[in-house]
Amino acid sequence: MESDLRKTLFLKEVKRHLSINVNIVNKRIENTEHCLYDVITARALASLDLLFKYSSSFTKKETKLIFLKGASYKEEIEKAQQNWNFDFETEQSLTNKESVILIISNLVKK
């Protein structure tokens, strides 16, 4: 899901070049019918707690959430853990030593 048409067109071109089976939707998350997805990604959209709120109605048990987060990611995890149960892994960002890629699984509202 991508609200910016330019980015949506870019992602569709990547999809075509890689011959991958993904669904790219040009809509805002707030205006989207509720479907269940295998993977949800976001970059620079909202705090982790708010990302979980946005994402939760689109997840199923095996959904992976992949979020690029900045230097305050540890604090965001702590805050989100007050409202959500989840497992997570971190991968170091290749572009910024203070940033990480969070890989979330088993998201459940407390």
In this structure, the answer to whether residues 50 and 77 fall within a common structural domain is yes
Tokens 């998350």, located at residue: 29
SS3 18: helix
In this structure, the answer to whether residues 59 and 85 fall within a common structural domain is yes
In this structure, the answer to whether residues 39 and 53 fall within a common structural domain is yes
Boundaries of domain holding 6: 1-30
In this structure, the answer to whether residues 22 and 47 fall within a common structural domain is no
Half-sphere exposure of 60 (CA within 13 A, CB side): 7
Q: Cβ distance 1 to 32 under 8 Å?
A: yes
How confident is the model over 28-43, as a mean pLDDT? 83
What CATH number does residue 70 fall under?
A: 3.40.50.150
In this structure, the answer to whether residues 59 and 93 fall within a common structural domain is yes
In this structure, the answer to whether residues 48 and 1 fall within a common structural domain is no
pLDDT in tens, 53-110: 989 989 999 999 999 999 999 999 999 999 999 999 999 999 899 999 999 999 999 9
Predicted confidence band at 29 (pLDDT cuts at 50, 70, 90)?
Answer: confident
Tokens 């699984």, located at residue: 105
In this structure, the answer to whether residues 49 and 96 fall within a common structural domain is yes
In this structure, the answer to whether residues 38 and 89 fall within a common structural domain is yes
Quote the number of domains for the chain: 2
Predicted confidence band at 24 (pLDDT cuts at 50, 70, 90)?
Answer: confident
Is the pLDDT at 38 greater than 80? The verdict is yes
pTM score = 0.84
Predicted confidence band at 30 (pLDDT cuts at 50, 70, 90)?
Answer: confident
